[in-house]
Structure 1
Amino acid sequence: MSDPEPCRMKHTEEQRDLMKVKEESEELSEVKEESEELSEVKEESEELREVKEESEELSEVNEESEELREVKEESEELSKVEEEHHVNRSKIKKKFVKKRSANKSFACTQCGKSLTTKQSLEGHMRIHTGDKPFTCDQCGKSFNQKSQLYFHMRIHTGEKPFTCDQCGKSFNQKSQLYFHMMIHTGEKPFICDQCGKTFIWASNLKTHLTVHTKEKPHSCSVCGKSFSLLQYLHGHQKIHTGVREYMCFECEKTFITARCLKLHQRIHTGEKPYKCSHCDKRFSQSQHLKIHERIHTGEKPYKCSHCDKRCSRSEHLKIHERIHTGEKPYKCSHCDKRFRVSSHLKTHERIHSREKPHTCDQCGKSFSFKSDLEIHMKIHAVEKPHHHSLRSQTTRKHLEGENRKNASDPEPAE
């Protein structure tokens, strides 16, 4: 009979192994459960972070809305007080400004501006520090306010929630729609104190004021020409660099700016959006219409600084003033003769080139100068049937003699 002890020991070892496997399995289950719990906690943490960011964004928007609401309420209350008591608005306004200032306890240490909340002050301080922590993930542009990034993102999404009820044009900001509406209402709140001219935009008024001040602080380092605005200088400098990045696909002509290309393309499309209010003539450019309308109004805004002559165009005044200054900037490339006007030089150079662009449609004879053609045409005017009198023959000989005389001295008078 065999000994049962080894069998019992073997059975005990198997049980021990099974228990060990079971314990390891339980431990793995616990680890898995803990991992799942951690994952859930992480997800909840992420959700909380997103909620916090949304809360901050809403807080900023609410603060801006609250400030706008306060301004609106003050304005309405001012109007009500003014109507009831018929008092000076400026005096009442001072009272409300003082009341509103008392509610602003957070002051900027850099410029002294007061704000209603600590968060608003922190956002304001970024203007002075130059800190721009909010970056667009589409183009990399950075902003110092989260609300600015929020509005900027509409450029990429194409969202334009504010639509003009007059023409249907849409905008991504309410302020843009506000200024656009002034085009329809005709409102121009910014007035030049020098000439009374009005503008929709403050920036347009600032640009206009340089006409009166004659201030041109931006100079070209290549030719020394000065400009009133920096963007004018940047555009001018492309003349020296030779960069003409805008090309017309119709004729392959190139241009320095997109605006010049746009104006040029109207030659191909035939578009003439600017119509004269006095006649039916139309123009492709607004400045051409403005110059044309001076024919009807008789306006001559450009006055000579040497005499009382006035001109409707600045380039005409510039040419006229050369009579007083004696300036003759256009020199003949064949001789030393100089001229005040480029067209006079062009006409003069035909003496050297022998070019004769003016041709008689009666006999085919050509002339260098239009005036000579006009004199020649009189010959054909007297050559009529049944009028071959002695007088007609004498007139013809006289005109031919004048023509020969003019041909010997063809230079036009300046």
Structure 2
Amino acid sequence: MSDPEPCRIKQEDTEELIDVMVKEESEDEEKHHVKSENETQSKTEHSIVAVKALTCTQCGKSFRRNYDLKGHMRTHTGEKPFTCTQCGKSFTQLPYLHKHMRIHPGERPHKCDQCSKLFFIFSELKEHLRVHTKEKPSCSVCGKSFTRQSSLRRHQKIHTGVKEFVCLECGKSFVTAAHLRLHQMIHTGERQYVCSHCNKRFGHLSVLKVHEMTHTGEKPYTCSQCGKSFTQLSNLHQHMMIHTGEKKHKCDQCGKTFLRPYELQKHLRVHTKERPYSCPECGKSFTRLAYLNAHQHVHTGVREHVCFECEKTFITAKDLKRHQMTHMAERPHVCSHCNKAFRDLGCLKSHVKIHSGVKPHRCDQCGKTFLRATHLKDHLRVHTKEKP
């Protein structure tokens, strides 16, 4: 039996998982100027090459410093010159060794003057101080903020579209080294973490733990304001802005307001009809990447979500959850007008419009209004002569 495909993780969850996977890389970005006591680098190696960039002959990636290129080349050669004197483990980069040294007891000379916490290297202290100052560098394009400067730099590549990390096996390119490493597991077969529920394999324990929550229903992070629970801490932080944040980003088309600039940008596609994400299989396009990802399961046919009551399988977790309510007979959303109960909030909201009399969907041909968008769509065939 072949290994299942690696999991597809939601966009908002992936950021937290990638942070776990690339923390070492991020620290390398911030600390590449640190010198080893045992290895001195010449000024020539560290100086910026102004005339032309230094290019890796293996993958074509360019660097401004000899030091950076030299460190990068070790990812291809497998050379690990930095060795821990405590346990003998070796590393390709000096910052990786510094990070590793934290597991061994030793001197932590850098002390926080706010809470007295000690750190092994100064950059860790500098990063920690943001907890006290509440400083969060933000993206100039979409306004999203980050606790780490390196996380912001990694995020900004999403907007530039630059995919500089290339898989030597198949030529596919990626925005970050972490995404490349995750992809390379398809070729190397490094997926030693197995889900006990469905036998799906993962290359990282953190990814497996998040996946298992789709089976167990565990949501360990709870909002103190409304009690809503989440599988990821980052999702809770995102949700909390509903309670604490001011909606200052306003749509000039319909007046709707949003907490974040990128939410407004997504919303504007409703008016512009822009659908930038297209399915390579059937050409169907979507306003959001998450919708495209969900749609693509239709083509793969992978039904990884299993109902433990009747063993019926489903393509998405949402479909499974909807199905499970048939076993629980749960209809928690009750109409205040007629006491009719519904399984999900969306159905209740749609139903309430019957009582309010509001018909928000208007035909621009004849002015007739409709309760639901699907009713308007059906009506438009009268004008277009299109047959269902």
TM-score, normalised relative to structure 1: 0.45
Which of the two has higher C-alpha Rg?
1
Higher helix share: 1
TM-score, normalised relative to structure 2: 0.47
Which fold has the larger relative contact order, with Cα–Cα distance below 8 Å and residues 6 or more apart in sequence? Answer: 2
